[in-house]
Structure 1
Amino acid sequence: MEGNAGATNESGQLPGVSTRRDSHGMAVTGNYIHVVDRIQNVIETFHVHTYERSTYDVVSISGTAGRTGAASKCYQRSILDDINLILNDPAPDLLETTPDDKYLMVAFRGPVPVSVAHGGQGSCPGVGIVELMDGGKSGKLLDVIRTTNTVDTSVPVSIPGGVAYSGKERSDVHGAIVIAK
């Protein structure tokens, strides 16, 4: 994944503001490798033979409009108990393909990341369902299976480069796995 020229780590992790990149999870679907970027809320694909690179987002309905288009399901499933938390910020993490290679199941981080706080803060914790298109070259977020945890209050809320979250949500999905029967 290419970084932005002149970008520094001081740019934080705020969507639409940060210039940082943070690739993390990776999955293979057919001829494509999918790599998530937690901060930019995109998934980069690479063709396994030609190395052709493409990008799609998980913040717009189409997967191609970014924050300028109609918001994805993450916006509708976002946490609303702190007006400072940025809505529609899935912070995609680890992922896995379905056995039919038609979907990706992607872990979406929460507002108080238990680990990797420098790049893991998100606003719609749960599992994102991404429909793959163009033979696996691109995709779009179909829905979010939203999770919640308001019991664990022991996790600190100081988020480097993010929002000092004051709400009660502590759900922080860090991985997704698909089990075939």
Structure 2
Amino acid sequence: VHALRKYPIVNAELDEQGGRIIVKKRYNIGIATATKNGLLVPVVHNADRLSILDLAREIDRVAAATREGKASRDELTGSTFTITSLGKIGGVLATPILNYPEVGILGVHAIRKTPIVDARDNITVGHIMNLSTSFDHRVVDGFEGASFLQEVRRYLENPNLLLLAGI
């Protein structure tokens, strides 16, 4: 949510009929969820109003309800930005598909061990997770999209920033 606040154009939609961009004031995060009937996107409404712990609980709750076929219509509609993950099945890179009418989506992938060269040129084992995004370039230009992704990366690499930001 912090990255969406910093780059609000990513939390928008294009009104093609009206020829305008609508920047959303609420942060309703869709969580792509595999079900026996295909991929569905349950929604954590007003994610910006939840603590990090409450956000995790709500993600678990709506994803479980969706997998069990018990999610309500409200729980499956109204997302303003979606997160998808292939990490659970070992995916390390993919191009996420936009969840229309959203203009951005974030893909998170498997965390894997990999050799890393540290500041002293020593080779060590580190953990790497690829991130990927897709954007509707009629709304989000490449620089803004890349800057948004770097902001997400910054928070993932430094989770203490979330605590300092009051999440």
TM-score when normalising by structure 2: 0.28
Question: Which of structures 1 and 2 has the bigger CA Rg?
Answer: 2
TM-score when normalising by structure 1: 0.27
